[in-house]
Amino acid sequence: MVHGIWTEKYRPSVFSEVVGQDEIIKRVESLTNSLNIPHLLFAGPAGTGKSTLALIIVKELFKENWKENYLELNASDERGISVVREKVKNFARTKSLGNVPFKVIFLDEADALTPEAQQALRRTMENYSSTCRFILSCNYSSKVIDPIQSRCALFRFKLLEKKDIEKVIQKISEKETLTISPETIEIIYEGSEGDCRKCINILQSTASISPSITPDLVSTMIANTKPKDIKIVLDYAISGDFQRAREKLLDIMLKESISGQEVIKAIQKEIWNIPVEPEIKVKLTEKTGEAEFRIVEGSDPFIQLQALLASFVLAGLGKE
């Protein structure tokens, strides 16, 4: 059973089944029912329902004719100016089939469009607004040029809360007859970080091994550090034992194949649990951000993490 099949099997067919975005759903459903849809811009983190909502809108509008009236372009397609001038424009200029007076073009990850393509798109949106509506999806609306933003109704999606993730997990577990404890749901939620797509992938990976999903089984599937391991590293560092902190860190990164960025995220969460003054925690958080930036820019992760541990050692000795 592959992820694509699960996604299709449990794809919401009506607006009320989209979780975690209640205000957005109310407004979009009202627009769809009245057939009064402007160009739409969905912005927000991955796995929060942007693409799914776009597909629901199209299916609700066109019913069985939705495929003939819908064009989707995503980040895997060519995103240059030629695509906007040819493929998008040719689709936009033709009349729709059925009672709805316009077609729909969905541009997934619109922030990946080149600046030239975005300039060509703004004109296309203006010229063909009578025969076509655009739904743009992006992670960061700031990467979409202002003229396009001003032509769209902007909807900002948020990461899903635990109750929303729990709702999705319970629905799938009932359909697939899986056994999941509340503790397991907590671990899946922490591993997914509010990303519903990631949650489903974790659930599917574990369900392929056993229909009884336990916390230990989920932990083996989630490629992040365990908080208790990072706590041990930081405890060694704060107590002044740099050598043991370094060895434990190396053990985590090599034996568990954890990336430097994952370790940084875990450290950032654990900082507020260590026994030092709040002012020092603020400084350590700042240094964690610096280390993360250097790792992203291409520096050696282990060297940067060692330097970060040195800051924790100094903080524990009262010299930070």
Full-model pTM: 0.74
Tell me the CATH number at 40: 3.40.50.300
Q: With 80 as the cut, is the pLDDT of residue 8 above it?
A: no
What total number of domains does the chain contain?
3
The residue range of the domain holding 304 is 227-316
Q: Is residue 55 part of a domain?
A: yes
Q: Tokens 């396009």 map to which residue?
A: 148
182 in the same domain as 147: no
Per-residue model confidence as pLDDT tens digits over 29-55: 888 888 888 999 999 988 888 988 999
71 in the same domain as 195: no
| DSSP 8-state code for residue 113 | S
**Average per-residue pLDDT for the chain:** 83
What average pLDDT does range 192-215 have in this prediction?
Answer: 86
Q: Is residue 7 part of a domain?
A: no
- Distance, in Å, from the CA atom of 87 to the CA atom of 129, rounded to the nearest integer, reads 16
Predicted pLDDT of residue 76: 59
On whether the CB atoms of residues 32 and 57 are closer than 8 A, the answer is: yes
Per-residue model confidence as pLDDT tens digits over 108-151: 888 888 888 888 888 888 888 888 999 999 998 888 999 999 99
Predicted pLDDT of residue 13: 47
Whose CA is closest to 43, among 167, 159, 122? 159
Q: Is residue 242 part of a domain?
A: yes
Predicted pLDDT of residue 104: 92
Q: Is residue 6 part of a domain?
A: no
Give the ranges where the chain is alpha helix by DSSP (H): 3-9, 22-33, 50-62, 81-83, 89-92, 115-127, 146-150, 162-176, 182-192, 196-207, 215-221, 227-238, 242-255, 260-270, 278-296, 301-316
On whether the CB atoms of residues 200 and 7 are closer than 8 A, the answer is: yes
